[in-house]
Chains A and B, each alone.
Chain A
Amino acid sequence: MAGKERVTKLKIDNVKKVYSTRNGEMTALNGVNLDIKENEFICVVGPSGCGKSTLLNIIAGLDTPSSGAVYIDDRKIEGTGTERGVVFQQYALFPWLTVLKNVMFGLKLQGKSDAEAKEIAMKYIKMVQLEDFVNHYPKELSGGMKQRVAIARAYAVKPEVLLMDEPFGALDAQTRTQLQTELLKTWESERKTCFFITHDVDEAIILAQRVIIMSARPGRIKEIVDIDIPYPRDQETKMSPRFMELKNHIWSQVYQEYLEVRK
């Protein structure tokens, strides 16, 4: 595939995360190794509690590994950085700011003038088609619209890597499908490295170049599946025999892990 000569953007090197809880130590992640290429779209699937979110938080710099490290362009990650944008499942919009001000938030922190920040913010608000809602507050928006704002806000500061933690998990099926299609379009035009967590196998296959299946606690990488369906993909792709084949395989793997958890 054409991806062979691409450079490694993110390197997850033997990451382990142990939490101490009231009932002793709990290993959330153990021996996680993964190289993510520049512009690659990675989806991570696995049962609840397999440490997907912990891994994302470590890459984001919101959490630190107990051992091992994550590198971005060969530089060790310590703390958060604007080259890594995050989209949270709960939208995490600032409720006291309008759509425009939310998207401008990161730009203002970079010291941009109001005019400049506004211009950039408007570009990304148009990208997510919310130009009619710039002066609305988050409470006036639907869940899907809120997540669009969050995506625009993450894109506006021009991150090199986009980390998404089940961003469409709280949305209804139609909105979710629509946002998947929009996200794919954006990814094809803006080409960023994407690390996307989901529990929806269909979503993982439609979006990703590679799907990472994580095992139950302690979380480790169980299998990496190359999704050899060419882009552009759309919802029609879900009808193709190859899609069904991949879906059956990934689903059975995830289900096994799910049974592990229930034991």
Chain B
Amino acid sequence: MEKKKKSLLQTIPGWAWVLISLAAAILLWFALSINPKTARSFPFIPAIFEAVKKMMDNGALVQDFCSSMISILAGFALGFVTAVPVAFLMAWYLPVRGVLEPWIQFIRNIPPLAYVPLVVITAGVGRKPQIIVIWIATFLIMTVTIYQGVRNIDNTLVKAAKVLGAKDRDIFIKVIFPATTPFILTAVRLGISVALTTLIAAETTGATAGLGMRIRSLANSFETAGMLMYIIIIGIIGLVMEKIIKFLEGRLTGWQEKRE
């Protein structure tokens, strides 16, 4: 049915839709920028370029970007290397699961912004509390995701490996590990996304630079063009990270059955 009656809309390729979407967004943006009620929050493109130029000239943009990336990557890396072993231990040992799972479920639903002050009181201000907050948030989401993955491994694959002569070590390296890879990548994707969304909360800890910190400091002087620019940059970082992970997924888990 669909094949025969291919309407004009269906012949538009994917990349063209991206362009159309982008054009529509700019149009909407323009509309918001000329509407007197919203104009102050949505300065249009020329104002944004001006802001970019200004922040580049005084070096703040590069400094903020680097600072935030260091916090995100360090927090995420710590989250990852702790989440993987904890998730496996939870999947395999009932006492570990019994004790840790309720903790994780409890803390997971608390917005990081709520416990940031507590972290600051112990860890002080600066880089350390930022990394700790991102670590906690990414650790929680990644542990849950990887744990679910390990638990969902098809047991017949383990049986099949056993009857072919696999010992426990072989089963771990040749079955459990590859079978978990898709879930680990999903965890990485969610972890990065959580790291970004937690960044703003993390940078309320008396940071001296950073994308989130700068948005708040620009807000104090009502520099909306600068704020909007930083918001867009955070969005772009998220998009680029997403693409990198998609690429990795294609490379590492292309064997997966796609459920569409």
Contacts and interface: CB of A to CB of B under 8 A. Distances in A.
Given A96-B255, A137-B255, A106 B165 contact: yes
Contact of A109 (B164, B178, B253): B164
Nearest to B161: A105
B245 interface: no
Given A94-B178, A96-B255, A139-B255, A88 B156 contact: yes
B50 interface: no
B170 A109 contact: yes
B255 A95 contact: yes
A260 B256 CA distance: 42
Contacts of B255: 95-97, 137-139
A138 B160 CA distance: 15
Nearest to A137: B255
A164 B149 CA distance: 29
Interface in A54-113: 60-62, 80-82, 84-86, 88, 90, 92-97, 105-106, 109-110
Contact of B157 (A60, A85, A94): A94
B54 interface: no
A157 B163 CA distance: 10
A103 B178 CA distance: 17
Contacts of A86: 159-160, 163
B257 A82 contact: no
A148 interface: no
Q: Which among B164, B165, B170, B179 has the highest number of chain A CB atoms within 10 Å?
A: B164
A52 interface: no
Contact of A139 (B165, B174, B179, B256): B256
Contacts of A60: 163
Interface in B173-193: 174-175, 178-179, 181
A interface, size bucket: 20 to 34
Interface in B231-260: 253-258
B163 A85 contact: yes
B166 interface: yes
A71 B161 CA distance: 22
A134 B248 CA distance: 24
A88 B256 contact: no
A153 B156 contact: no
B151 interface: no
Contacts of B181: 96
Given A86-B159, A88-B156, A95 B164 contact: no
Given A86-B159, A86-B160, A90-B156, A95 B256 contact: yes
Contacts of A81: 165
B53 interface: no
B160 A82 contact: no
A95 B165 CA distance: 19
A109 B165 contact: yes
A93 B156 CA distance: 9
B216 interface: no
Given A95-B255, A95-B257, A139-B257, A82 B164 contact: yes
A84 B255 CA distance: 29
A88 B160 contact: yes
Q: Which among A93, A105, A157 has the highest number of chain B CB atoms within 10 Å?
A: A105
27 contacts: A60-B163, A62-B162, A80-B165, A85-B163, A86-B160, A88-B159, A90-B154, A92-B154, A92-B157, A93-B160, A94-B161, A94-B175, A94-B178, A95-B255, A95-B257, A96-B179, A96-B255, A97-B255, A105-B161, A106-B165, A109-B164, A109-B166, A109-B170, A110-B165, A139-B255, A139-B257, A157-B165
Given A82-B163, A84-B163, A92-B159, 9 more contacts: A60-B163, A61-B163, A90-B156, A92-B156, A94-B174, A97-B255, A109-B166, A139-B257, A157-B164
Interface of B: 154, 156-157, 159-166, 170, 174-175, 178-179, 181, 253-258
Interface of A: 60-62, 80-82, 84-86, 88, 90, 92-97, 105-106, 109-110, 137-139, 153, 157
Closest 9 CB pairs of A and B: A106-B164, A92-B160, A92-B156, A86-B163, A109-B165, A96-B178, A82-B165, A96-B255, A137-B255
